[in-house]
Amino acid sequence: MKINTKTETMEESKLDTRYESKDRVLICFAAFSSGIVLILLAVLGPLGLEVIKFKTSQSGIWQTQGQDLANVILIAPICIAAGYTQIKNHSISKYLLTFASLTLIYTGISYGIGQEWNHPNLTGDYNVQKYFWMFLILIIDGLIMMIFGLMQFTEDDAPDFNSKGLKRYGFAVIGVLSLFAMMWLKEILEVVKYGDTATGSYSATPVVFWVIRYLDLGLSIPIGYIAMYLLMTRPKRAFPLMILFFGFFIGMITAVNAMAWIMFLRNDPEFQTFGLFLFGTLGFLSYGGFYYLIRKKIPFFKRS
């Protein structure tokens, strides 16, 4: 019996194209909707019209303003650009999708579960629960963008790296991440031993205290360690994961720096001066490392 392999190949190609078309619609919807939600949260939240009333302390409100500011300036434009470039089937889309994905998930989780619902000193007309769907959209969109963004990378996407330079950079990031971890662990030990932190941040917002410490010590910092290990040992194979890590860390460190400066300008008693230096250094290393990672791959970053 003769099998028409040419016909079967053509049918498989049409099927792949059909699935890719459906994938592109889903990806574009996720990218555009996440960008719009981030902008809406900033407009409706404490940074803008204050329609959304978060149940948190005044320091928590200032930190939310910093998060929203970073989202509007950095993450929302990247999400919208990711959707547009996906429509155009441009290769840069996978970088943008992967870059923003984990930050969206982190933001949705921290906003959604970081409210002080049972705090006795926080009373008033809080309505953040009515906007839970916006936080869910960020989490789901982030998952879609991460999965389909990573799937679009191939082995040919990874550039050649200088192994010595990568090791120096990796150890520098690990050192600063360790300082970050020790700062959070120091506060946790203060809570365990004395029932509060020296600045009173725990008693003011215990839920958000634990949410941020668990997310940072259990997710952000371990991702950083793993990413630096992969960067130093197998950079070409781990290139897509490097984009994921640097996108996440740049998104988070930009938000943390924005929070720190707002807290500093507001004379927040929970602000720690050391944080400006630490987070500023992490920001410099994150942006510098990301530039080094992609400068040979994206035309805008290529040397003339």
**What's residue 201's pLDDT?**
85
Grade residue 10 by pLDDT with cuts at 50, 70 and 90: very low
What helix, strand, coil percent values describe the chain, rounded to 5?
75, 0, 25
Contact at 8 Å (CB) between 202 and 187? Answer: yes
pLDDT in tens, 251-295: 989 999 999 999 999 998 888 787 788 888 888 888 988 888 787
Residue 56 has pLDDT above 50, yes or no: yes
Higher-confidence position of 7 and 213: 213
Q: How far apart are CA 288 and CA 301, in angstroms?
A: 12
Tell me, what DSSP letter sits at residue 295?
T
Q: What is the mean pLDDT of the chain?
A: 86
What are the φ and ψ backbone dihedral angles of 209, each rounded to 5 degrees?
-55, -50
Residue 243 has pLDDT above 70, yes or no: yes
Mean pLDDT of 110-135: 88
Contact at 8 Å (CB) between 274 and 251? Answer: no
**Sign of the CA dihedral running 301, 254, 102, 181:** positive
Residue whose entry in the numeric block shows the structure tokens 């592109």:
24
pLDDT in tens, 195-208: 999 888 898 889 98
Reported pTM: 0.84
Residue 69 has pLDDT above 80, yes or no: yes
Residue 40 has pLDDT above 70, yes or no: yes
pLDDT in tens, 131-184: 999 999 999 999 999 999 999 888 788 877 777 778 888 888 899 889 889 989
Residues comprising the chain, all counted: 304
